[in-house]
Structure formats: C-alpha cells, structure tokens
Chains A and B, each alone.
Chain A
Amino acid sequence: MAVADSHDTHDDHHDLYDHGEFIAHHFDSAEQQFDSGKLGIWLFLVTEILFFSGLFVAYTLYRTNHPEVFEQAHVFLNKYLGGLNTIVLLFSSLTMALGVRSAQLGRNKNCSVYILITMVCATMFLGVKAVEYSHKWDMGILVRSSFDLTYTHPTPTTEIGKSLHISDYLVYLCIVPALLFAGFVVASAISKLINKNMLAKFLMAMAITVSGYFLGVCIGIIFMSATDAETGSSHASVIAEQPLMLLASTQDDHSDGDHDEADHDKADHDKAAGDPSHDGEHSDNEEHFGAHPADGGEASFDDHHPDPSTLDRDIGIFFSIYYCMTGLHAIHIIGGIIALGWLYWRSLLGHWRTDYFGPVDYVGLYWHLVDLIWIYLFPLLYLID
C-alpha cells in the first residue's frame, strides 16, 4: 500500500528531486503532476467563466428590459473591426494549438515560433481595440454617466496626432507600447553586446510582439476609414426604418417614470436639447482617421446619423457594459501575453519534452478560453439585430 516514494532517513530528501528534472518533489510521477495541473487549469477556467458571468447576466438583464437601447447603441460599433479581431484571435488559437502540438512532440524551436505568432496576434488584437476605443472616446461614447454623443471630432492637439491626423486618445494609447518596444530593442541590443544571446533573442521576440500592436493600429485605421461609409449607411437603415418608434418608446419610458433616474436624466436631455452647439452641427463620420484636417466638423444630421438629442441617454448603459466586458477581456489578453512570453522563454531553453509539456498545454487552454469569450462577445455586442 505504498503511498509515495518511501525514503528512510532525513538525509536523503534531495534524492526526491532525482525522479525527474521537472517533477516537483511532492508528486510521485510525471503523470500525476500533469493530471493535477490539467485539472487545476480546468478549474481555473471555470472560475474565469464565472468571473465573466456577472457581466453576461448584467447584459442579459438590460437587454431584456431595454431592447431599444441595445438596438440604438450597437450601430456605433464597427462590426468590420470586430470581425477582423475575431479572425485575428481565431488564427491565434490555431497557432497556439500548433504550439501545443510542437511542445508535445518536443520540438522546441517550432513551439517558440508558434508562440511568437500567437503573441503577435494578441497584440494586434489590442491595437485594433485601441483604434475602436479612441474613436468612441472622440465621439463622446463613454460610460453611462459621461456619455455625451457628438459627431464632432476634437482637433488633435499632440504633435503626432496633428501630423498623422489621428486621435489624441490613440496617441496616448500608443505611449506605453512604444516605450515597451524601445525598451525591448535597447535591452536586446545590450544583451547581445554582453554575449547573452539567448536573452537577446527573447527580448527581440518581445519587441516583435509589441510591434504587433502598431500593426493592429495601422490595420485598424485602414479598416475604419474603408468601412465607415458602409457602417454609416447601416446607421441609416436602422434609424430610417423605425426612427419614430425608437423615439416614442424611449419617451414613453420616461413619461411613465419607468426609470429611476428620470429626473436627473431629463435635466441632461434638456441641456443637450437646449445646447445650440449641438443643433444643426455637422458631423462627418468618414473623416475621423482620414486626411481631412480636423478643423471642427460642421455637419447637419442627415439620415445617416441620428440626432444625439433624440437618443436615449440610457444607451450609455450599453457602452458601460461594452467597456466592462471588452476591457476585462483585454486585461485577460494582456495576462495571456505575459504567460505566453514565459512559455517562449522556456521554449528557447528547450524545456519541452515528450514527457513534459504541461505548461504549454495549460496556457493553451487559457488562451482558447480567452478566444472563446471573444467569440461570445462579438455577436452579443456587435451583431445585434
């Protein structure tokens, strides 16, 4: 009835570590260690799903109670950018799976390449997300309390913003990645100089990873300007079909005192309606990231764009939920990149063997879950009809 490796004296504790390079002392066999890790990561994924579940429940409740809010709101999300990100993440899941396979076969070099591609996809995803976020912040599409839709894009004030005609917010969102990129390149060069070639290679890979972010930003901007006309018309079709109904339903809600915040909200409405700068103001959705000098848009509310003053302020709740869900998802992507970086380093060290590849497997499962959550978020947020 042996429970564990028996050892007779206190002096031979170190012998316990001999039964395999990577087997922790408290496990009997590689198999037991792998099974424990696998069960552990699955349980962790369960906690992750439940962590997101609160937001999914909030989404379901508000969508059930205020369907009109969701219909009005989703047209402000660019489904082409969302779709692009979906493809990027799906592709990263493929490369991750290939990475796991390589690790299982002990092919460390292949594994490291696949993991690098996965990381680049991850940062690309974040780059595209940054374009989406900054575009919305420009338009005043924020969380409920600060939601203040306007089609005017503020003039960029930063030098980079001015010269590239991109939003200030996007410039801010690029500062940390730019610093990281520069840091990794410099550190890599220094490591090379002091002959730490492995470290240099790792740091260069990290720099490549971060550059994926800028790739994402560029592709995002191109997609945005290319598809804006089309999303503009989709705004139009929804609003054109039922503009009065939307208006009527939201007004009903308010007059019935259905909303607890009616009073407060009314004040906001009045303010928005009474504000002359909103009325008759021109907006030009096509030129946010385009070449137009941002000299303040002068536009009228054509049938492409709903008048902000007629929109229900509650659509801000949709964006509260949107920012919570996608923000939390983005944090998980960042966590995943860090874990993948660790795997990349260990692949360089050649740690994976046919009998030891657990960590790649575990991070792979986590990565697929992050992907899967996006697969749910994309239709729930972008493809409402």
Chain B
Amino acid sequence: MVDANTRQKLFGTPETNFLNCSKGWKSWAFTLDHKRIGIMYLIGVTVALFLAGIFALVLRSHLFTFDSTMLSDDMYNQMFTLHGAVMVFSFIIPSIPAALGNIVLPMMLGAKDVAFPRMNLASFYLWIIGTGCLLGAILSGKGLDTGWTFYTPYSIDTNTGVIYATFGAFILGFSSIFTGLNFLVTVNTMRAKDQGWFKLPLFVWSLYATAIIQVLATPVLGITLLMLIAEKTLHIGIFDPKYGGDPVLFQHFFWFYSHPAVYIMILPAMGVISELISVYSQKRIFGYSFIAFSSVAIALLGFLVWGHHMFTSGQSLVVTLIFSAITFTVAIPSAVKVFNWLATLYKGSILLNTPMCYALSFIFLFGIGGLTGLFLGALSTDIHLHDTYFVVAHFHFVMVGGTLTALLGGVFHWWPKIWGRMYNDFLGRVGCFLVFSGFNLTFFPQFVMGSRGMPRRYASYDPEFQAFHQLSTVGAFVLGIGILLSFVVLVYAAFRGPRCSSNPFRAASLEWQSSSPPDFHNFIQTPVLTDPYDFESQVYDEELDTYIPREFANPDKVAPRKEPVHH
C-alpha cells in the first residue's frame, strides 16, 4: 500500500520521459534506448511502406485497362519487382519485430533495455544501408526486373541492378539477424524476477519464435545472395546452367530462407492479435499454452515446407508429396490460434475501438488467406493455380490482411503508451473501415481472376479480366486512402492529441505499469509482476484516472476482486 504522492509519481504524467530526456539530433542518431530505436524503425518502415505502396498504386493504375500503355513492359517489370522487394525486405520483415517489438518487448519483461543495445542500433543502421542499396538499383538508373525472388538464371543474365539489390537484401538480412539474436537473448536472460516462461505475454512468445527463424534461416539467404553475386561477377558455375550450375539449387536455397521468412512476417502479427483480443475483451486469453506453443510449432514447421514453392520446378513426385503433406500440417497450429482468439471473444466484454477493429479484421482476412493457402498446398489444385493472381491474392491476404492489419492495430494499441497522447478513435475506426473494405475490394477479385487463369506478373491481359482489374485498382486506392488516414490520425495524436493516462485500456502486461510516455529507464520503480491476462489485477484510480495494479491502490476505494464467473 502506498500513499497518493507515490501513486502520482509512479503512474501520473511525468515531467521527463524518454522523449524529452535529451535533445538534439545526436541524442536520437546515437541513442541506445530501445524505445527511440523502435520509433526510428517505425519511421523507417513507414517510409518503405509508402514508397512500395506508391509502386503498387502505379502498377494498379497501369492495369486499369487491358491494353494500357501507361508503363512500358520493362517499366512494369521493374515496378512489381521493386514493390515486392521493398515491401518484403524493408517493410514487412522489420515492421512488427524491429519497430513495435523493440519498443514493447523489454518493457513486457520489466527490463531496462534489450540485452545488446549497441547491436540494436547497428541493426537500424544496417536497415538504412540495406534499404539504400535496394533503392540504389533505381537510383543507378538500371532498375531491377527479376521479381523479388532473384531467380536464376534470369537474374544472372539481366543487365539490371541485381548486384545492388542482392547486396541490399544481404545487409537487410544481417539487420534482421541482429534484431532476432537480441530478442532471443533478452527473453532468456532479462525477464523480471519470477517471471517464468508461462507468465510472459503471448506477444513475447511470438517474437521469440520469430527470432528463432530470423537467426536460423537468414544466414542461409545471406550466403545464397553472396553466391549469386559471385555467380554474376565471376561466373562460378554453381547456379548458372551455362557453366554446369543448377538453377533449381538457387530456388531451394532461396526458399529455405524465404518460406520461414513468411512466418517472420506473420508470427509477430499473431502475437499482437493475441494481446489485442484479450485486452479489448477484458477476458483471460483462452488456451494460453496452446497459443504459445503453436507459435513455436509454426516456427519449426516453417523450416520443412520450402519445397511447396517449387511444385512445378521439376522436383521429384515423392519430394513434392512430402512437402505438400507437411504444408497441410502448418494449418493446424494456425487454426489453433484462430479458434483460441474466437473462444476468447466469446462472452468477453468487447470494446470496439480502433485496435480491436483491426484485430477483428485480422481474424477475418487471415482466415481467408490461410484457407486459400490450402488450395495452393494441394498438388492437384496448385498445378492449375500456380503463378496466377490466385497466388498473389493469397499471399496478400496473409501479408497485408494479416501483418499490415496487425501492425496498424498494434500501433494504435501502444500509441498512447509511446507518446502519452490519445488518438481520435472515430477517425481511427474510419481508417480501419477503409483499409478493410479497400483491401477486400483489391484482392478478392484477384482470387476470381486467378482461378480463371489470369497469370501474375503480366503487363497486359485478356479483355475478359478488365472488370476484375478495375475493381482491384479502385480497391487499391481506397486501401491507400485508408492507410493515409490512419497515418494522419496517428501523427496528429502524437503531437496534438489529448494527454492520456498510464493505462487507459486496463491492460495487465508490465509495459502498462510505466508512465505514458515511459521513463528513459522504462520504469521509475520496479514493476509489480502481474499475470498479463488477469485484468482483475488492475483497478481504477479516480485521482489519476487510470488503471493501476491492485497492490498500489488505495484499499479504501478498491472494489474486492471479482471471483471468476464460470459459465
């Protein structure tokens, strides 16, 4: 039991915080504070998102009519390549772990920082260098037209800037490894006292599973890209069939990384959703350990399914069958998560604010994205659907409908914590609606087109597909406007929004025990270890207009703990 002054000091609005404790550009450029690095990462990935988003809108504009001459065919190839490469390597992979995770993960553990703060900063600068090299392909005037996959032998023969781009992806890989390694060590050694593995928020579990993939898979991409550069410059004959090399070997190496990378993109998103669903239902997450272990299961199974990207590349039938079977097993842990989220919602006290709207969109969109994956994992249907718009729609439902939606939801959820200011919830929800409807309008027609045989990566198409393409293009602009609106809402809130308290949403994980914005050292006093899904542990304090841990509350004014209700 503490007095009112202490409460004010711990949970009130602080005078100094991590944002204003030091000033000047150097205090940001050379900061070792995980929160500042996370914010810089957030700005960085936002720039990448807008750049790659503009590429996408140009593409969609070109495809508005079937005989469009807006872009030359070469330009079209470069456009979709850069859209894919920047989105994958510079945006999605670092988005949730390196930006949101960086800010939240140490605080969820009650730690002052990640285990290796300098490595954390290095990771950010590597991200800048890598993205610079990737974009250097455009700036050099050569462009890049291989698709984001850099498949040999075309990538060896083309005169476009493959070396810039692969070198950029190589550097970005190290950036990702640094983040992953840091998180693994942080979770292992820097948890709060008595905070066992099963007292961790599920976001931490998912980041841990992600980090396992980042550490184990990314080096393989690194060496593959180095070998590709060596092949292109010295012609070492490992991938180039002209010199006795095996181009399919490149595909194996590439997908050995890039399939697990799909789970680098989606696992953190699932972690965010687990937090949002539970907090905004004010109900203990259903099946905690199932969700936790399903993250690890997805991470491990993810290493065994790369061959499903190569069903039509000439693998033996036996290998193809095995990859297909293992691919189906990935559906199990994914479905476990979805069922647990739905069970958490059941009879919860649901608050339909912006983050929750994004969380619910996620479940719907990820459901479609995941289920259409089964069509592609099944051999017979995949032969028909491979390299069509069906594939494009499928992975956009997972990557955009999944990851981007969860990223936006997570950013809205933790935004008041980061800036100490509240966003306009109505406009936030409007943004969410635009994102959701624009997204569906963009990609749902693509399922139809794909199943009717519209091939991906073509600059022109049969007139019969024009109506679908036009729906898709209109949808893309709605989606773009939705993201832009959310961006404006968030930026306005960060600088001009009304002040908010330390824990406005009655969340129970440790990061909400810091002030908003948090102190430079995260916590002014050692946080009280609470169960992250026991919302009864947080009680309302009238003076501060916020939720604080029961241990700190004035006992005269606290309602007794509600006994759990059994239905």
Which residue numbers of A lie inside 8 Å of B, CB to CB? 1-4, 6-8, 10, 13, 16, 24-27, 32, 35-36, 39-40, 43-44, 46-48, 50-55, 57-58, 61-62, 143-146, 259-261, 264-265, 313-314, 316-317, 320-321, 323-324, 328
Contacts and interface: CB of A to CB of B under 8 A. Distances in A.
B236 interface: yes
A48 B219 contact: yes
A51 B223 contact: yes
B241 A260 contact: yes
Q: Specify which of A3, A40, A61, A317 lies most central, judged by the most chain B CB atoms within 10 Å of its CB.
A: A3
Contacts of B230: 143, 320, 324
Given A58-B238, A145-B236, A324-B227, A50 B193 contact: no
B115 A36 contact: yes
B342 interface: no
A32 B246 contact: no
Contacts of A316: 237, 243-244
Given A1-B192, A61-B249, A324-B230, A40 B115 contact: yes
21 contacts: A2-B193, A4-B523, A8-B524, A36-B188, A36-B189, A39-B184, A39-B185, A43-B185, A46-B215, A47-B215, A51-B219, A51-B220, A51-B223, A58-B249, A143-B236, A145-B237, A146-B234, A316-B237, A320-B236, A321-B236, A324-B238
Contacts of B237: 143-145, 314, 316-317, 320
A2 B526 contact: yes
B367 interface: no
B224 interface: yes
Contact of A54 (B114, B224, B527): B224
A314 B244 contact: yes
B246 A61 contact: yes
Nearest to B230: A324
A25 B112 contact: yes
Interface string B215-251: 1111110111011001000111110011111100100
Nearest to A10: B16
B526 A53 contact: no
Contacts of B238: 58, 62, 144, 317, 320-321, 324
A6 B10 CA distance: 12
Nearest to B109: A3
B39 to A, nearest CB: 18
Contacts of B556: none
Contacts of B190: 26-27, 32, 36
Contact of B520 (A13, A54, A324): A13
B243 A40 contact: no
Contacts of A144: 235-238, 243-245
Given A6-B525, A39-B184, A50-B220, A324 B236 contact: yes
Interface in B61-116: 110-116
Contact of B223 (A3, A54, A321): A54
A55 B478 CA distance: 46
A54 B220 contact: yes
A35 B234 contact: no
A75 B202 CA distance: 57
A7 B190 CA distance: 18
Interface string B480-522: 0000000000000000000000000000000000000001110
Interface string B134-168: 00000000000000000000000000000000000
B414 interface: no
A55 B526 contact: no
A54 B219 CA distance: 9
Contacts of B218: 47
B253 interface: yes
Interface in B153-212: 177, 181-182, 184-186, 188-190, 192-194
B117 interface: yes
Nearest to A321: B238
A53 B223 contact: yes
Given A36-B115, A36-B190, A47-B219, 20 more contacts: A1-B526, A3-B526, A6-B525, A10-B16, A24-B117, A26-B117, A27-B190, A35-B189, A36-B186, A40-B116, A43-B184, A51-B220, A54-B220, A61-B246, A146-B234, A260-B242, A261-B241, A261-B244, A264-B243, A317-B238
